[in-house]
Structure 1
Amino acid sequence: MLRLGGYINIIISFGHIIGLFWAEKMFEVTGIGHEMQLLSAIHPILPYALTVFVAVIFFIFGLYGLSATHQYKKLPFQKPVIFTISGIYLLRGLGELISHSWNGTNTYPETFYSLFAVIIGLLYLLGGLGSRLGKQETSIRTLVD
């Protein structure tokens, strides 16, 4: 599960970098076009710098997922970071779903992104619990592989 979560994060990271070639369209599709216009009013490079920063964060999340499955060298603070990544994704996904439901502002793309975040968060949570981060993964891993 952590391996899958790791690869998904790396793909998301590369998607952010590739999306910079069509930045305005990517910002509009993801629903952050207005916010990025405000940032570009401060300085034109800020939306691009922020996107690269976010891509680096996704890449690091991916490396931690792969590291926990011994696909990559062991990274520091592996156990707390895996569960922190899980918490970030679950908070983002569930928080957005609940907030938009209460406000009646659900949109299909936002619901999709939120559900996707919940799935990734569960991959990290269940993968972290199942592998005990250092021991052989149990039956949870066999369900995925």
Structure 2
Amino acid sequence: MTPALPANPYLLIAAALSAIAAFLHLAIILGGPDWYRFFGAGEAMAQMAERGEIKPTLITLGIATVLFSWCLYALSAAGKIPPLPLLRTALVVITTIYLLRGLSVLLMAILQDEFREPFWIWSSLICTAFGGVYAIGSWQQWGYLSTAAR
């Protein structure tokens, strides 16, 4: 019998953050073209949504699905649901994606001395914060996660 994982507040917060981001993506679909614009999806996505094309919906649903799966991995690592496959690997990948998304855009903006698009700055800060929460929670649970996989 696998011992239960101890609760981890950082991973519970990480799960909540990914779930909120996923629900926000679903709200963008319902909000339509103006929401695509407001949340920085770009004018091309907004115009496709205005024309009733399915592509923006599919892309945004795909992102929401990924974010929901990341929520489930955080909940699994926090011991709230049974261990998911490749749990440690998934946490490393999720953390890396959040941190790379956040830090790369911020670094490009700093190096180019261009802060023209506020969306990219604040969304990068958010992604960096999400990645940091995943990193701390994963680091704290790391030793327990190897036994949970058995």
Structure 2 residues not aligned, in runs of 5+:
1-9, 146-150
1:63 is the counterpart of 2:72: yes
Q: Which amino acid aligns with 2:28?
A: G
> Which of 86, 89, 92 is equivalent to 1:77?
86
Q: TM-score, normalised by structure 1?
A: 0.84
1:61-85 C-alpha deviation (Å, 9 max, x unpaired): 0110111011112100000100110
Identity across matched positions, percent: 25
1:52 is the counterpart of 2:61: yes
Q: 1:44/1:51 Cα in 2 relative to 1: closer, same or farther (>3 Å)?
A: same
Question: Taking CA–CA contacts closer than 8 Å with sequence separation of 6 or more, which of the two structures ends up with the larger relative contact order?
Answer: 2
Q: How many residues are treated as equivalent by the alignment?
A: 135
> Which of 7, 14, 21 is equivalent to 2:16?
7
Mapping of residues 1-145 of structure 1, within 5 Å: 1-37=10-46, 44-106=53-115, 107-132=117-142, 134=144
Q: Out of 62-71 and 43-52, give the one that drifted further.
A: 43-52
Name the Cα RMSD after superposition: 2.1
**Contact 1:93/1:114 (<8 A) preserved:** yes
Q: Which amino acid aligns with 1:85?
A: I
Structure 1 residues not aligned, in runs of 5+:
136-145
Q: Offset of 1:103 from its aligned partner?
A: 2.2
1:12-52 C-alpha deviation (Å, 9 max, x unpaired): 111111221112112111222224157669x8100011101
**Contact 2:33/2:47 (<8 A) preserved:** no
Cα distance in 1 for partners of 2:126, 2:136 equals 15
